[in-house]
Amino acid sequence: MVPSKGNRVRSTMGGELSEGKDRHTELGLKEEDLVDMYRYMLTARFCDERQWALNRQGKAPFVVPVSGHEGAQVGSAWAFEKGKDVFCPYYRDLALVLVAGLTPAEVFMGLFGKAADPSSGGRQMPAHWGSRARNIITGSSPIATQVLHAAGIALAKKIKKSDAIVGTWFGEGGTSEGDWHGAMNMAGIHQLPLVLVCENNQYAISVHESKQVAGRVFRRAEGYGMPGIEGDGNDVLESYRLTKEAVDRARSGGGPSLIELRTYRFYSHTSDDDDRTYRSKEEVEAAKKKDPIPAFERYLSSVEVLDEHRIAEIREEVKTAVAEGVKAAEEADFPDPATAMNNVYADLPGEVE
């Protein structure tokens, strides 16, 4: 179904994947795709748990948790073509960059600031992933700047008549930024091959959505001449379906789309935040009942793709792969101090008096 401009398309799942109904075949997804999607969701979750523990052990300076967002990220990322399309993520997109091609070892290289970090050789802030080989554009820290980068890259793709498209991801807080509105405006005017995905987790650090957006995020699309679509981000298949429609539209010259995927983050904003100061334990517990991972496990069981035994095996396999990634990154070298000024100055400045 292709929504008309500004139309609302509602997910019918309400945080629960419908069971016993083969939705994935209708979406053109094979059983192998489903198992891979599940593995990526688990990989992100286990990386998150490890990085949080490493932070508390004093081994990782700064961590941005993904837990809760895995359905929205894996589902939306799955709609793009790896090796061709361009990914402009934000700091919460750990599951997304894994789908785009980063390995757990590379993620932890970045976290520890090791030389083999593909984002920057250990120079970027953690969670600002990038990889030239995978078309992942490392972001700037001011929120929503990646949306402008994405619009610029999409304009270049259009001018060059490339059939590659661009995806960009951001939180609902990011949609208050001037950069976001500028990018939306350019995308609409030039009908850019761009898919904009909002992971609405209801908070921008401590600021609730009700103090951030007077209306609804997806409705903002209408003002910029593009379809605005809302869906359940805890439902990985729904996230895929809505994004795939937008990707197909963008690739066939139909212009940009804004997709709002509603979800929740289970931990604090970052390792430097304490969410107990602005939301209740009960609210967090209620949100965890809609955890996208057990919801997908129930779906996989109901369509007989995975049984309980196989789920337990895959969980162990993924946990081991993540632990190996952590170990490889822990053992890797830090950058040579002599390279500290590489890519900073064309000519090294003289000594400062």
Ligand X SMILES: Cc1ncc(C[n+]2csc(CCOP(=O)(O)OP(=O)(O)O)c2C)c(N)n1
Q: Output the smallest distance, CB 92 to Mg ion, in A.
A: 8
Q: 348 burial class (0-12, 13-18, 19+ CB within 10 angstroms)?
A: exposed
Provide the minimum distance between the beta carbon of 291 and Mg ion in the complex, in angstroms, as a whole number. 17
Give the nearer residue to ligand X in terms of CB position, either 205 or 323: 205
DSSP letter, residue 329: H
DSSP code per residue over 228-267:
EEEEETT-HHHHHHHHHHHHHHHHTT---EEEEEE---SS
- Residues touching ligand X: how many (CB under 6 A)? 16
Query: By CB under 6 A, which span of 95-103, 168-176, 230-238, 304-312 interacts with ligand X?
Result: 168-176
Q: Name which of Mg ion, ligand X, none residue 222 binds, using a CB cut-off of 5 to 8 Å depending on partner kind.
A: none
Query: In whole angstroms, how far apart are CA 151 and each of 12, 174, 324, 333?
Result: 31, 15, 37, 36
Distance CA 113, CA 120 (A): 9
Query: Which of 143, 184, 195, 226 is close enough to bind ligand X by CB under 6 A?
Result: 143
Binding of residue 201 to Mg ion (CB under 5 A) = yes
Residue among 205 and 286 whose Cβ is closer to Mg ion: 205
Dihedral, 207, 209, 214, 220 alpha carbons, nearest 10: 120
Residue 92 lies near ligand X (rule: CB under 6 A): yes
The binder of 143, among ligand X, Mg ion, none, by C-beta within 5 to 8 A per type, is ligand X
Q: Which stretch binds Mg ion (CB under 5 A): 20-28, 101-109, 173-181, 341-349?
A: 173-181
SS3 207: strand
Q: Which does 303 bind (CB under 5 to 8 A by kind): Mg ion, ligand X, none?
A: none
Residue from 12, 25, 141, 320 touching ligand X (CB under 6 A): that is 141
Q: Which residue sits closest to ligand X, CB atoms considered?
A: 171
* Amino acid at position 342, single letter: N
The C-alpha angle with vertex 139 and arms to 137 and 142, in degrees rounded to 5, equals 160
What sign results for the dihedral spanned by CA atoms 309, 314, 317, 323?
Answer: negative
Q: Does 172 bind ligand X (CB under 6 A)?
A: yes
**Is 171 among the residues that bind ligand X (CB under 6 A)?**
yes
Contacts of 119 (CB under 8 A, 6+ apart): 110, 128, 129, 130, 131, 138
Chain-centre distance for alpha carbon 351: 42
Find the shortest distance in angstroms from Cβ 174 to ligand X: 4
Binding site for ligand X (CB under 6 A): 92, 141-143, 170-174, 177, 199, 201, 203-205, 269
Residues found near Mg ion in the complex (CB under 5 A): 171-173, 201, 204
